[in-house]
Amino acid sequence: MGCLFISFFSCFNDTDDSVTGFVFTELSPTDSNNPNPFMGTMSAIETMPYTQIPSEKYVIELDRWDIPNDRSNPEKTTDNIQAAIDWALSEGFGQICLPKGHYLIGKYGNDIYQAGIELNSNMAFLLDKDATIEMAPNNKWNYCAIAVRNNTHVVISGGIILGDRDNHEYTPRTNDGSVAHDEGHLICIEGDSQFVTVENMILGKANGDGVLIVGSPRGEEQNLKNIVFKRNNFSDNRRQGISIVGGSDILIENNEIHHTKGTSPQFGIDLEGAGRTNKNVIIKSNYFHHNTGGDIVNTDGRNILVEDNILKQGEDSRYIDGPIVYWKNADWTIRNNDITMITTSVNNWNGIIMYSNDNEKTNPNTTYVHDNTFNNCGFYAYKGADLVVRDNYMDNGHLVFWKMDNMTIENNRVEHPNKCWAYRFLEVKGQANGNTYNGEAFEIPLQPNTAWDGCWIN
């Protein structure tokens, strides 16, 4: 493991009486084995991805706007940063820069929501690499440190955003007494927002998600789209690294998403529309580790691509659910990923598992799982259909299918000490060829219209 934080949290010692008694634990380390490792804080991007953002830059003048940068006075800090942003936009500036310092934010929104900073269309909010925005301790169910609501062509880049999970107060909710408080997020992208980029950031210690994407209300047309997350370090968020609850045309690339732990589901990325539509999402070249629930879960997403990722269970961690989990009415392509388990989960040694139930599969689309490497784990799917599994390598792994229709199983290489554990089938229809077990041909006599039972161990 590589060490992430060295000296730039020394500003935590520069606080006034308003923060005396704060608990702070450092963010968990990134992994030096990441092929594209993180070495600390990052500068904001310089080239804007959207021509709609004016090129004029404004560096917020802390004295002029009376903005504390010593981790004090969160209400004043929030109001005055917001005032500076709004003024700069009214003057025609497009790239608004926050100087180095530690900015404690948060103010009353309503009885269950703690408000932060809101960004408008056609702007970039660029943090100095030594700038930290931190949500002040609160007792609210919800918060958004940075919010983009129904706006377009927005960039958020550079520095650090932190949540309050080390110091959050779990006041019971009045209507049911719940203290889950799992909706405190670092960046919220909501409504009809489009063309939003989050890049070169550290996003840590949210009481809920590092990033929450929520589209239009259920039953309405979903217009939230064209969102990019690139080269970010998601660390120690309590519920999720990224939650997608209604959105399309989303790219998640070259991020490290790790040490998600605290309240369910605890996944690195969760695609869960909750009555909204998730589609056309690319999850590419990311590095996942130490995510307690699992790394990627897809309950309902359509046309999702997961490729070239490393999903690695840490030596001092275990999955509850598993690296990759999905439900049968989701459809996606999972290819060229490296998946490693070192301890079992509640789902046994399954690097990919497809959940199901006794209802018919209503999505006619096919899921493709190919050219992946499974290290000490395998793939299990049950009570579903329309699945192509080909050209995967299972090192001490397995392929297990139960009550599956329209299966294609081709050119997989499975190595395992027990043949009957390596390939297991019960009531499976489809076709198979070219598969091997420990380097030798392994016949799987599937037929399209007749269910076949192979070796099966409960």
The answer to whether 343 and 351 are in contact (CB under 8 A) is: no
**Cis preceding-peptide flag for 35 (omega within 30 of 0):** no
- Find the mean pLDDT for residues 35-42: 96
Query: What's the CA gap between 213 and 224, in Å, rounded?
Result: 8
Rounded to 5 degrees, what angle do the CA atoms 172, 270, 275 make? 80
pLDDT, residue 20, reads 55
**pLDDT 10s digits, 303-323:** 999 999 999 998 889 999 999
Give the tens place of pLDDT for each residue, 77-122. 999 999 999 999 999 999 999 999 999 999 999 999 999 999 999 9
- Give Cβ neighbours of residue 114 (< 8 Å, ≥ 6 apart): 106, 107, 108, 135, 138, 140, 142, 143, 184
Residue 8, pLDDT score = 32
- The pairing of strands 152-157 and 113-115 is unpaired
Buried b / exposed e over 211-223, threshold 16 CB at 10 Å, is: bbbbbbeeeeebe
The average pLDDT across 435-450 equals: 97
Question: pLDDT by residue (tens digit) across 277-313?
Answer: 999 999 999 999 999 999 999 999 999 999 999 999 9
Average pLDDT of the residues in 427-453: 97
Tens digit of each residue's pLDDT (9 = 90 or more) over 128-146: 999 999 999 999 999 999 9
* Burial grade of 231 (CB within 10 A; 0-12, 13-18, 19 or more): middle
Q: What is the mean pLDDT of residues 225-237?
A: 98
C-alpha to C-alpha distances, 450 to 108, 198, 331, nearest whole angstrom: 63, 50, 24
Q: pLDDT value at position 340?
A: 98
Q: Does residue 442 contact residue 405 with C-beta atoms inside 8 Å? A: no
Cα–Cα distance for residue pair 397/379, rounded to 1 Å: 8
Confidence label for 245 from pLDDT (cuts 50, 70 and 90):
very high
pLDDT for 457 equals 72
pLDDT > 70 in the chain, percent: 95
H/E run at residue 235: strand 233-235
pLDDT of residue 315: 87
- pLDDT recorded at residue 9: 34
Spatial separation of the C-alpha atoms in residues 159 and 128, rounded to whole Å: 6
pTM of the model: 0.94
- Higher pLDDT among residues 456 and 371, named by residue: 371
Backbone angles phi, psi at 12, to 5 degrees: -65, -20
Q: What is the dihedral of CA 126, 127, 129, 131, to 10 degrees?
A: 180
Q: Which residues contact 353 (CB under 8 A, 6 or more apart)?
A: 321, 322, 324, 325, 326, 347, 379, 380, 381
Which residues are registered as beta bridge partners of 404? 384, 428
State the pLDDT confidence band at 458, using cuts at 50, 70 and 90.
low
Between 304 and 175, where is the model more confident? 304
Please tell me the distance from the alpha carbon of residue 102 to that of residue 69, in angstroms, as a whole number.
Answer: 5
Q: Which of 96, 102, 182 is nearest to 143 (CA)?
A: 182
Q: Which pLDDT does position 2 carry in this prediction? A: 34
Domain boundaries, the chain: 332-458
Distance, in Å, from the CA atom of 228 to the CA atom of 72, rounded to the nearest integer, reads: 32
Which residues does residue 305 pair with via DSSP β-bridges, in sequence order?
282, 333
H helix or E strand, kind and range, residue 322: strand 322-327
Task: Please compute the mean of the pLDDT values over residues 52-68 and round it to a whole number.
Answer: 98
| Model confidence at 18: pLDDT above 90 | no
Q: What φ, ψ does residue 383 adopt, rounded to 5°? A: 50, 55
Dihedrals φ, ψ of 82, to 5°? -60, -40
Strands 233-235 and 202-204: parallel
pLDDT in tens, 355-414: 999 999 999 999 999 999 999 999 999 999 999 999 999 999 999 999 999 999 999 999
Residues 31 and 258: beta-carbon distance below 8 Å: yes
**CA 280 vs CA 50, 138, 271: distances in Å:** 20, 36, 11
Instruction: Give residue 1's pLDDT.
Output: 33
Instruction: Answer yes or no: is pLDDT of 432 > 60.
Output: yes
3-state DSSP assignment of residue 37: coil
**Structure tokens that stand for 197 in this block:** 């980029």
Q: Model confidence at 58, in pLDDT bands (50, 70, 90)?
A: very high
Read off the tokens for 216: 């239009």
Report CA-CA distances (Å) from 53 to 18, 117, 181, 195, 199: 37, 19, 35, 11, 16
Distance CA(429)–CA(138), nearest Å, equals: 55
What are the φ and ψ backbone dihedral angles of 77, each rounded to 5 degrees? -60, -45
- pLDDT of 175 reads 86
